[in-house]
Chain A
Amino acid sequence: MNILIAGCGRVGAQLAMLMSAEDHQITIMDADSRAFSRLNTDFSGTVLVGDCTSEASMREAGVVEADAFIVVTDHDNANIMSAQLAKHVFNITKVVCLLHDPERADFYRAIGLETVSPTLVVAQLLKDKVIG
Chain B
Amino acid sequence: MYVIIVGAEVGYHLAKALIKEGHEVLVIDKEAEPLSRIEDELGSICSQGDGCDISVLREAGAERTDLLVALTSADEDNLVACQIAKHKFNVPRTIARVSNPQNEALFRKVGIDVTVSSVKLILENITESILTHSLTHLLSLEDSNVQMVEARILPASPVAGKRLRDAVLPAGSLVILMIRNGAAGGSDFLVPAPDTLLQIDDRLIVVVKKEQEEALLAAFVTG
Contacts and interface: CB of A to CB of B under 8 A. Distances in A.
Contacts of A110: 87
B206 interface: no
A40 B102 CA distance: 35
Contacts of B88: 107
Interface in B18-63: 52-55
Contact of B102 (A55, A76, A88, A107): A55
B87 A80 contact: no
Interface string B63-89: 000000000001111011001100110
Contact of A107 (B54, B75, B105, B110): B54
B68 to A, nearest CB: 15
B75 A81 contact: yes
A104 B102 contact: no
B108 to A, nearest CB: 10
Interface string B95-128: 0000010110110011000000000000000000
Majority DSSP secondary structure for residues of A touching B: helix
A42 interface: no
Interface residues of B, number: 21
Given A107-B54, A107-B88, A75 B103 contact: no
Interface string A74-95: 0111101110110011000000
Contacts of A54: 100, 102
A76 B100 CA distance: 19
Interface size on A, as a range, is 20 to 34
Nearest to B86: A111
A60 interface: no
A103 interface: yes
A56 interface: yes
Contact of B54 (A55, A77, A82, A103): A103
B74 A77 contact: yes
Interface in A37-63: 53-56
Nearest to A77: B76
- Of listed B80, B83, B105, residue having the most chain A CB within 10 A: B80
Contact of B76 (A56, A81, A89): A81
Contacts of A103: 53-55
A49 to B, nearest CB: 17
A80 B53 contact: no
Contact of A80 (B55, B80, B105): B80
Contacts of B76: 53, 75, 77-78, 80-82
A65 interface: no
A101 interface: yes
A81 B105 contact: no
B111 to A, nearest CB: 10
B195 to A, nearest CB: 50
10 contacts: A55-B102, A55-B105, A76-B80, A77-B76, A78-B76, A80-B76, A80-B80, A80-B83, A84-B79, A89-B109
Enumerate the 9 nearest inter-chain pairs by beta-carbon distance, A residue then B residue, closest first: A81-B76, A77-B76, A88-B109, A103-B54, A77-B80, A78-B76, A55-B102, A81-B79, A77-B77
